[in-house]
Structure 1
Amino acid sequence: MATEIELKLRLDPRQLRKLLAHPLLAATPPQRQRLLNTYYDTPELALRARRVALRFRKKGWEWLLTVKSAEPASGGLAVRNEWESAATPGIFDFSHVDAPALRTLLDELRDDLEPVFTTDFTRLRWQLACGESQIEVAIDRGSIVARGRREKICEVELELLAGRVEDLFELARQLQHHLILHPAIASKAEAGYRLFLDEPPRPFRARMPPIAATQTPVEAFRTIALACLEHFQRNEAGLLAGGEAEFIHQARVALRRLRSALKLFAPVLPADFIAAYGQSWRTLAGALGEARDWDVFGEETLPPIAAAFPHDRDVRRLRNEAGRRVRHARRAIVTLLALKEYPRLMLEFTAAVYALRDTEKASLKHFAADRIATITGSARKMAERYDELDAEQRHRMRLRFKKLRYATEFLGPLLPQQRMKTYLTSLARLQEALGLINDQVTASLLIDEALGEKHGGAVHGWIAGRQNLLIEQLDPTLSDWLSQATKERGN
């Protein structure tokens, strides 16, 4: 078994000539190969479900049978297990797969395997020295074909043949200096399956990062941060395609989780890392926040108001203005993602995350317990006197509970589990209730922004009434969380 470590970068075909003229590549003639690949699976796509890719590759006169694991990539970097052996087309011999469980699965599925899609591309290949490493640079141009549908391939892959992951990023920086290379997350296999199923981009929700008690706090942060990057990147296509509300929501959540992780792990992260990246995502997060606020206003807050005041001129103006503001905000997001600063930030941040090193081997369990206790104590103090808080203080309390929820989701698996599910449910309900109250506050601000402070009297009255009702209904939810938090503290 080999471990494939590669950095995948998306290339605009119009910039191919500029890349080929880069001094690192122009100095040496590339090797040119045409690679024809047929991917196989069962009719039920059993391999895809288990995150396994299986292909026959024609490479010149040679045929290869390749099995790959399909672990997710983040920031463009993928680390995957790979088994490859010379083969005869159509003969599935898995004797080279030295992972017993995987080999058993492949043998069991052998008789059901059938072609699913093909990739046909030309590869230009260089082998370069960078730092302490040997790296293969490959530019792939061609297409994926499935069920008569076709999708173009134009990408750059940097594969670490020997040496350090840091040198992959250094080489990417050098190549990226005069052109835009976007860190890409989808493998050719993943793109092929999507084309085979004719799947449009779908909003991608956060997955619980697989942290373990054997990790150090810095290692846990790396796992969590990369999961947040994957969460964002898997919603990127939806943002670029027009930014439907749920893509915006999930992308915003991804950056919120990432920024929360930076704050949560700040005590064990280098000061220069926090200084460099603590605010780096703020501009993009702000654009997503503006779009999300107008989406919520137009899709959730305004409809019941329109039903209550069907002939109100201000309501009609608000509906039109909300649509205009949403379209403007979505265009702003696309503009930000098109700037060269975005792929460079993604690449630099990913490189910095991988470069983090532990200065001491602290216990992750102790770190988790201490951090969650600190955040819980801060949130509890505000919750216990909620009735005394003004609007600004309630806003800060909501943010503390959001911070607490993310921290508990990140680190909760390391804590005593007797009541963790119940506690998280209680915490989620409280955060949702606080979010609904905040939506009314935000709606009032948006109304003033759209109509001016002298208009929208009836709408403002409806919003104020809704906010007061939600505040009155909060007490049982708040009391439930305080009760659950007391039990958790006693464990």
Structure 2
Amino acid sequence: MNMNLDHELNLSLTPGVAGRLAKHSLLSEAAPTRQRVVSTYFDTPDQRLRRERVVVGYRKSGSEWLSSVRRCGRPLHRQAKTAEWEAASEPGELDFSHVEDESLRAWLESLRDELQPAFTTSFTRSAWLLEPRDGVRIELSLDRGWIEAAGRRQPICEVELDLVAGGVADLFSTAGKLQTELRLHPEAANMIQRGYQACVDAPRQAVKALPIATDGRMSTISGFRTIALACLRHLQSNEQGVRESDSPEFVHQARVAIRRLRSAIRVWKPLLPADFVADFDPLWQALAARLGDTRNWDVFNSETLPTIIDRFPASPEVARLADYAQRRCAMHRQAARQALSSLDYSRLLLDFPARLLDLPEDTEQRLADFAPRCLQKRAKQVRRLAAEAMDGDAAARHRLRVAYKRLRYALEFFAPLFSGEALRQYHLAASELQEVLGRLNDLSVAVQLIDEALPDDQRGDLCCWLEQQSEALLPELGCMLDAFRQQVAPWKRTASAQLDLSPIATSPSGASPLAV
């Protein structure tokens, strides 16, 4: 999802759907304009401009050439703004005299000799100015063409909705009306980001969650909105990998993104409208379940099964189990691909942020006051479940694992509000404990999957051995629990020592104080 949600939406579509766009009722009374747009973007060989979120390009629109420089606001930086400068120019002449930011202009001048073409976009743009109601104007652009980089070509077929006048609700309402008749999918990466991806001749890599720059002065709802949108970016950064790759890590990261989002919904549930939670939490839960089945078989096939084969190398039951696991992996991977290719998923990616951005603002309560209470509540739940887990069964340990995950996610959401070594040590201890609980959970799930795969008379030795492995981990779990109890909860320190209420302090890359 393009995160300039206050004024812009990018949606992909197939060429067949693009051919039907002009016949949609919203466009029937608007006359389109058409132009050929060719743009070349420049960077240094090590892509310094990309890292600093600066875009330098030349664009030919009709017969005119324009030189443009754009400095993009960092998505993690609440106060950052995007600035852009354009001027008529001759192609290939890197002239930065029109850049009003003196430090940026000087930096670009220092790199002039290193700049070279990185990629080119070439497309035909058909544009309509829509006026769905009085006072609302939205420019709809259909772009069809190519991105070319390093001798490779990728197709462009996308719709951009740009809010000229009106509110963000009008933008989403228009997109929703288009989506009722046309298969449109909200996209996370814009054309420039895809151009840079095309420069790299390497397999796509799964994307982990990035730090989220929350701020103690935010209202509670503003904090929730920031976190939820970051979770959507995390999910969408991995969705293409789920659809096109066999790498288990894409499914894993997509599932983590949804778990983090659902954890945020749980944290803020007392402050959210009941219908918002009731409408969306079940949808995210259902999607997580479909990915969860895939993840369970991935872990079993890649991590647990090899240890079983080593222990029972000549077992015919293990051979049958391996064959069954491979088939189940393929079946569930296809189900995950279908889930992230479905119309329901595309609609959810429009409906959820639309309602998210429309949540009523709560200006009375700051995040700095809200965070400690939330963390203390989750820590208390963890302590209660920890006492049950050591003497309980696999289900009790699973409940503890879920509670620890929710505590860790909440700690990561609020990390920029706290400072000091206590925060890092607490997070590290929680992560290490969660790792042990994860290994125990994998063994428990493996027993369930073997129960599914083999008849009663063929699984006894395998399940018994797996249960022995679980028992052997319990002393380590006990030590980890003891170590975690010794940690100082960072939110319990004095308010002046713990809460960072200054403007967000980030590194040059936009990272928050706790790298997660």
Higher relative contact order (CA 8 A, sep 6+): 2
- The structure 2 residue matched to 1:25, chosen from 19, 24, 27, is 27
CA–CA distance in structure 2, aligned partners of residues 456 and 72 of structure 1: 54
Task: For 1:62-211, list aligned pairs within 5 A.
Answer: 62-70=64-72, 80-131=82-133, 132-211=135-214
How far residue 113 of structure 1 moved from its aligned partner, in angstroms, is: 1.5
| Pair 1:69–1:270, CA change in 2 (3 A) | farther
Match for residue 303 of structure 1? 306
How far residue 167 of structure 1 moved from its aligned partner, in angstroms, is: 1.4
Identity %: 41
1:338 and 2:341 are equivalent in the alignment: yes
1:240-280 CA deviation, whole Å, 9 max, x = no partner? 10342111111110110011011111122222211111211
Task: For 1:444-459, list aligned pairs within 5 A.
Answer: 444-459=447-462
Deviates more, 1:41-50 or 1:102-111: 102-111
Match for residue 238 of structure 2? 235
1:366 and 2:369 are equivalent in the alignment: yes
Q: Residues 40 and 120 of structure 2 are in contact (CA less than 8 Å); yes or no, is this contact kept in structure 1?
A: yes
TM-score (structure 2 length as normaliser): 0.90
CA–CA distance in structure 2, aligned partners of residues 453 and 255 of structure 1: 35
CA RMSD across the alignment? 2.1
Q: Gaps (5+ residues) in structure 1?
A: none
Q: Residues 96 and 105 of structure 2 are in contact (CA less than 8 Å); yes or no, is this contact kept in structure 1?
A: yes
CA–CA distance in structure 1, aligned partners of residues 370 and 211 of structure 2: 19
CA–CA distance in structure 2, aligned partners of residues 485 and 376 of structure 1: 12
Q: Secondary structure at the match of 2:208?
A: coil
Q: Residues 4 and 80 of structure 1 are in contact (CA less than 8 Å); yes or no, is this contact kept in structure 2?
A: no
TM-score (structure 1 length as normaliser): 0.94
Match for residue 252 of structure 1? 255
1:392 and 2:392 are equivalent in the alignment: no
Match for residue 514 of structure 2? none
Match for residue 474 of structure 1? 477
1:357-411 CA deviation, whole Å, 9 max, x = no partner? 2134302111000100111011112223433333322221111111101001111
Q: Gaps (5+ residues) in structure 2?
A: 495-516
How far residue 219 of structure 1 moved from its aligned partner, in angstroms, is: 0.7
How far residue 232 of structure 1 moved from its aligned partner, in angstroms, is: 0.6
CA–CA distance in structure 2, aligned partners of residues 232 and 358 of structure 1: 25
Q: Secondary structure at the match of 1:299?
A: helix
Match for residue 278 of structure 1? 281
Deviates more, 1:246-255 or 1:96-105: 96-105
| Pair 1:219–1:487, CA change in 2 (3 A) | closer
Match for residue 63 of structure 2? 61
- The structure 2 residue matched to 1:292, chosen from 262, 282, 295, is 295
Deviates more, 1:4-13 or 1:466-475: 4-13
Match for residue 41 of structure 1? 43
Letter of the 1:143 partner, please give it: W
Letter of the 1:292 partner, please give it: R
1:412 and 2:431 are equivalent in the alignment: no
Letter of the 1:148 partner, please give it: G
Match for residue 437 of structure 1? 440
Q: Residues 73 and 185 of structure 1 are in contact (CA less than 8 Å); yes or no, is this contact kept in structure 2?
A: no
Q: Secondary structure at the match of 2:456?
A: coil
Letter of the 1:410 partner, please give it: F
CA–CA distance in structure 1, aligned partners of residues 117 and 38 of structure 2: 13
CA–CA distance in structure 2, aligned partners of residues 72 and 232 of structure 1: 19
How far residue 208 of structure 1 moved from its aligned partner, in angstroms, is: 1.0
Q: Secondary structure at the match of 1:135?
A: strand
Letter of the 1:389 partner, please give it: G
